[in-house]
């Protein structure tokens, strides 16, 4: 029975009972009203109000839960649904809301996949141009400076060597940018080698101690899953270096029968605010892209652990 008919039936029963009492029972209302009659009238009013309040509270409680979910729902954490029981308008509203969430999550996953693929394609293009154009041009400049320094008189030779050293450092920075934009070692040598190279690079560049714990026999993964694992590790290490003030970070990669689990744990200042920035939301979107889940939690006594659980998806032959 719908909420409308339940309220209507309740009020009809109460008012019908009161009418029957006035018609057939020896109940009268005097003028002025005597105490007994006032007690009966007020008691009937209280019963009707309490019954209506209880019915409305029970009937509208699912709408309160729906309102709270609507205020806190996050499409990057799929699966948030309300249970529905019975029929009626309220149950139909909840079922419609659940169906809408399902569609929104699917559309969000599709749009995020397109954005991330376009982003990776653009990174690949920029990395290629930096390597082919800027890198080769700076290499040519470096060789020209070397030849000029070899043939220049002593006062000028020292200045040319300084310019040569600056150019060499700039070329190294361009190469680091290329590796960050598109890790060639990931395509050539696989995930473990790419994570090892990433950890060593972060340790050298920031001074953090980066430990590694990788399972000996990891399953073969499709390129999309490997890239997501690499990008999440990269973002986690960058956050630990920039924001957590960490001294030591551990990158662990293990597998179960159905999943590969990446865990990046630091000993920094920990999570100080529940608000998530673009970097963390980007990691969540990447996790959804491969059907995985991302958890960010504080560790004891201090620090943060980022855990990505990715389902094993074998490479296609």
Q: Which residues contact 102 (CB under 8 A, 6 or more apart)?
A: none
pLDDT in tens, 149-174: 888 887 788 888 888 888 888 888 88
132, part of any domain: no
First to last CA, the chain: 57
Residue 149 lies in a domain: no
Q: Does residue 159 belong to any structural domain of this protein? A: no
DSSP H/E element including 80: none
The residue behind tokens 């690079």 is 201
The domain boundary, picked from 106, 121, 142, lies at 106
Which of 106, 134, 156 terminates a domain? The answer is: 106
Question: What is the model's pTM?
Answer: 0.64
Residue 98 has pLDDT above 60, yes or no: yes
Q: Work out how many domains the chain is built from and give that number.
A: 2
Token pair of 276 as six digits: 């998530």
Residue 264 domain-assigned?
Answer: yes
- Asked if pLDDT for residue 316 goes beyond 50, the answer is no
pLDDT digits (tens, 9 = 90+) for 229-260: 988 998 888 888 887 788 889 999 998 888 89
Largest CA distance in the chain: 128
Residue 315, domain member (yes or no): yes
Asked whether residue 137 is domain-assigned, the answer is: no
Domain boundary (54, 80, 106) is at: 106
CATH of the domain at 227: 3.30.565.10
Q: How far apart are CA 110 and CA 117, in angstroms?
A: 11
Instruction: Classify residue 166: in a domain, yes or no.
Output: no
Q: Cα Rg for the chain, rounded, in angstroms?
A: 34
Q: Which domain holds residue 69?
A: 3-106
90 domain residue, yes or no = yes
């Amino acid at each position: 029975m719908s909420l409308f008919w339940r309220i209507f039936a309740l009020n009809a029963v109460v008012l019908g009972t009161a009418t029957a009492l006035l018609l057939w029972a020896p109940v009268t209302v005097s003028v002025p009203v005597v105490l007994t009659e006032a007690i009966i009238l007020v008691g009937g009013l209280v019963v009707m109000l309490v019954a209506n309040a209880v019915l409305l509270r029970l009937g509208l409680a699912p709408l309160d839960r729906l309102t709270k979910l609507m205020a806190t729902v996050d499409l990057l954490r799929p699966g948030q649904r309300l249970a529905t029981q019975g029929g009626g308008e309220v149950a139909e509203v909840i079922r419609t809301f659940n169906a809408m969430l399902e569609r929104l999550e699917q559309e969000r996953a599709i749009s995020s996949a397109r954005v991330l693929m376009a982003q990776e394609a653009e990174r690949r293009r920029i990395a290629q141009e930096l390597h082919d154009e800027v890198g080769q041009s700076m290499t040519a400049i470096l060789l020209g400076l070397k030849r000029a320094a070899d043939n220049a008189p002593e006062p000028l030779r020292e200045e040319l060597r300084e310019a040569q050293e600056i150019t060499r450092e700039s070329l190294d920075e361009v190469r680091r940018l290329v590796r960050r934009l598109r890790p060639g070692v990931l395509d050539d040598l696989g995930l473990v080698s790419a994570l090892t190279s990433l950890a060593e690079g972060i340790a050298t560049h920031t001074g953090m101690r980066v430990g590694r714990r990788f399972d000996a026999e990891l399953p073969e993964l499709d390129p999309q899953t490997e890239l997501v694992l690499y990008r999440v590790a990269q973002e986690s290490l960058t956050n630990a270096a920039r924001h957590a003030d960490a001294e030591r970070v551990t990158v662990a990669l293990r597998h179960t029968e159905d999943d590969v689990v990446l865990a990046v744990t630091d000993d920094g200042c920990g999570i100080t605010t529940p608000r998530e920035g673009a970097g963390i939301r980007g990691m969540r979107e990447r996790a959804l892209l491969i059907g995985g889940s991302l958890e960010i939690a504080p560790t004891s006594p201090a620090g943060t652990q980022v855990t990505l659980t990715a389902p094993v998806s074998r490479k296609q032959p």
